[in-house]
Structure 1
Amino acid sequence: MSTALLLIHGRSQQMPAGTDHGESAVADYVARKKREWLAGLAKGAVLAGRPAPDPDAVYLPYYGNLLADRIAAHERAGGRAPQLEGLDVAAQSAATSDDILLDGAAEIGFVASRRLEQTDPELAGAARDVEKARASGEEASWGDLLKPKVVRAALRFLSDKTGAPEAIITRFLADVAYYLEDDAMRDAVQEVVSASVARAAADGHSDLVVVGHSLGSCVAYDALQRYSPGPRVRLLVTAGSPDGYAVVKRNLWGGPEGDGNRGIPGVIEPAHDSLKWLNTYDEHDVVALVHPLGPLFAPGDDAMRDERAQNPSDPHSIQDYLSDPDVAAAVIDALRADAG
């Protein structure tokens, strides 16, 4: 039995503009990215007392240039970032970004009225009225005048609390929306992942461990929800995942669009004990602020486990996530479960 490791990267992994994007240059670039991931995993493996994985059994489906080029082409053509919730891809992006942003800010203590008392005191009373109505179970909207102020305050709050620049937060939100709402873009990314799985099978691998980082955790979840026949999937690992944000969760594959009921992908056949899905998060990672994922996807099910990380170099660093010995041990054990 032979198990391959599939590494699914996130957004902002495109090659620098103006550099050679030929086949050989792309291959070299992807090889460097793969080494970066494996360096973190090797450190974690040592700390966990496990051997490092075989680099020849590691696959990194690279869609970074494809995603960046399609987004750029869309915006050059006059399109705007997409909304979720069934609206047209070319529509204004406010609803998508705002919902994710407000979810994340609320997760770490954002209260609009308190923040507006400092920045826009004349609107604080209106914000309190909305908050009181919602607390009593009513459906209350921020309104066209108040919502932009609330969102702006939430963005500043998130940036202050996490240290992530506002521009990075807003760009991440837009890219997630593009992937989730633009069907052609989403399908193109999934085709890249499917091609890597097919290569792993052609190389003789019967089993698969999947690791998704950041937006890549959405891509990985989708891929497993519509998995074509291939190597058995033994474990899903997500790191720095936005899957818990309500608007993201509602738009993942695996259930009716708009319905937030999502679970562990059924295709996973656990290789080690009963663990099917391991999610790791840093509390300061702005992408993974809605955590843990277990209560949202598989409440009370020991087939899913959340691991809290403390990433030393950057809260969102994939190398730091993989260097955590608990994460590395789960990956290596799943890779070696059927060895011999």
Structure 2
Amino acid sequence: MFQGVGVVARVVLVHGIAQQFEGPETLGLKLGAALRDGVQLGANLTLEPADVACAFYGNAFIEEGTRPADLPPWDEKYVEDGLEAELLDAWFQRAAELEPSIPPLDEEGTRSLKAAATSRALQVKWVRARLNGLVKADFFQGLGKRFLVSELKQVRRYLDDPPTWQAARASVAEQVGEDTRVIVAHSLGSVVAYEALCENPDWPVTDLVTVGSPLGLPLIFRRLSPLPTNGIGAWPAKVLRWTNVADPGDIVALINTLGPLFASGPNGPVQDRTITNGVKMHDFGRYLTAPTTGAAIAAGLRQASA
């Protein structure tokens, strides 16, 4: 049911993982400014701060009433079999393709996940080899194992834990109002936004812009709600236009062409666009300031005003 009547934001931002130490106002100020810059650079359209709202769900990943000073001491022993291990392997394989500096796996590291899972000791070695490689990747910019394991767990929690995905989707619903026309979603937030749009066909949103999206990654695609039918994902409700923007060096956006994977909408299939974000391939701010992203956002706003 549409709950957001009266909210003035014309554009709603949906962030990705690793934002549990942020807040809706601080994150909204930073990302809102980047979006307004992108729209101005890409389409010569000026937006006011009140035109943009940020759906915040970072607090869904910490215990209620607490704010930990640091991440838990996670390492290879804490990566769970199944989704977490599959995602780790997908990231590692893509990073190894893009960055020759990542050392090759040894014989034990090249085992299949299924083979490694037959022994706890083998699985820990299998995970350690991939984490050791990823922490050397330029993409992750020296982030430690604890941070990488935290990211794996946040993705798994959203996909498998009902209270987490309910809180994330509710954060989007709180910001969508009668004036909202465009949703711009980054990383895991693109999954949140897509699923929220599919389950709320009464929303007035006409344009979805996804950036750095993992929606095409098979281990995520096959878990989407609603489930894909015959290998094709559902079109998100009443959205008229869907633009997907990806940097080819963005490891999270492993499958950066979404058009063939989803049904077409009223104005055609997903429009896939490629940009370069420099050394910060996955950064939400850089995606937002890109003229390509700004032009897609502006197109939706101008259509709404026509």
1:144 and 2:124 are equivalent in the alignment = no
Question: Which of the numbers 164, 176, 180 marks the counterpart of 1:185?
Answer: 164
CA distance 1:168–1:291, change in 2 (3 Å): farther
Partner SS state of residue 37, structure 1: helix
Match in the other structure for 1:253? 225
Which amino acid in the other structure matches residue 154 of structure 1?
R
Q: Is contact 2:17–2:187 with CA below 8 Å preserved after alignment?
A: yes
Number of the residue aligned with 1:304: 270
Q: Which amino acid aligns with 2:274?
A: R
Say yes or no: does 1:215 pair with 2:185: no
Q: Label 1:52 to 1:32 Cα distance change in 2 as closer, same or farther (>3 A).
A: farther
Match of 1:235 in 2: 207
CA contact (8 A) 1:12 1:68 kept: no
Note the C-alpha offset of 1:42: 2.7
Structure 2 unmatched ranges of 5 or more? 1-7, 68-73, 98-102
* Residue in 2 that maps onto 1:293: 258
1:171 to partner: Cα distance? 1.2
**How many angstroms does 1:176 deviate by?**
0.8
2:137 equivalent to 1:161 = yes
Per the alignment, in what secondary structure is the counterpart of residue 261 of structure 1? coil
Q: Distance in 2 between matches of 1:72 and 1:101?
A: 28
* Partner Cα distance (1:254, 1:144) in 2: 33
Cα displacement (A) at 1:66: 3.3
Map 1:1-340 → 2, pairs under 5 A: 4-15=10-21, 29-69=23-63, 93-109=80-96, 115-117=104-106, 121=107, 123=108, 127=111, 141-145=115-119, 146-164=122-140, 165=143, 166-197=145-176, 200-201=177-178, 205=179, 207-231=180-204, 233-255=205-227, 261-270=231-240, 276-297=241-262, 302-312=268-278, 314-340=280-306
RMSD over aligned Cα, in angstroms?
3.3
Question: How far apart, CA to CA, are the structure 2 residues paired with 1:190 and 1:321?
Answer: 22
Task: Please give the TM-score of this superposition, normalised by the length of structure 2.
Answer: 0.77
Letter of the structure 1 residue corresponding to residue 283 of structure 2: S
2:79 touches 2:127 (CA, 8 Å); kept in 1? no
Verify the 8 A CA contact 2:17 2:154 in the aligned structure 1: yes
Q: How many residues align?
A: 278
Structure 1 residues 92 and 100, CA gap change in structure 2 (3 angstroms): closer
Deviations 1:198-249 (A, max 9, x none): xx22xxx2x5211111221111011012115232x21111112222222221
- Displacement of 1:92: 7.5
SS at match of 1:307: strand
Q: Distance in 1 between matches of 2:164 and 2:65?
A: 9
Change (3 A) 1:266 1:64: closer
Q: Between Structure 1 and Structure 2, whose CA radius of gyration is higher?
A: 1
Deviation at 1:55, TM superposition (A): 2.5
Between the aligned residues of both structures, percent identity stands at 28
Alignment partner of 2:104: what SS?
A: helix
Q: Is 44-53 or 208-217 further displaced after alignment?
A: 44-53
Deviations 1:8-41 (A, max 9, x none): 112222346xxxxxxxxxxxx5333222122222
Write out per-residue CA displacement over residues 29-79 of structure 1, whole angstroms, 9 at most, x where no aligned residue: 533322212222233233324213232232222222233235979xxxxxx
The 1:335/1:181 distance shift into structure 2, 3 A limit, reads same
Distance 1:249-1:162 versus aligned 2 partners, 3 A rule: farther
- Residue 278 of structure 1 and its aligned partner are, at CA, apart by 1.5
Distance 1:95 1:329 in 2: 39
Q: Give the residue type in structure 2 aligned to 1:222.
A: E
**Counting helix residues as a fraction of each chain, which structure ranks higher?**
1
TM-score norm. by structure 1 comes to: 0.70
Amino acid at match of 2:248: E
Unaligned 5+ residue runs, structure 1? 17-28, 74-79, 81-90, 132-139, 271-275
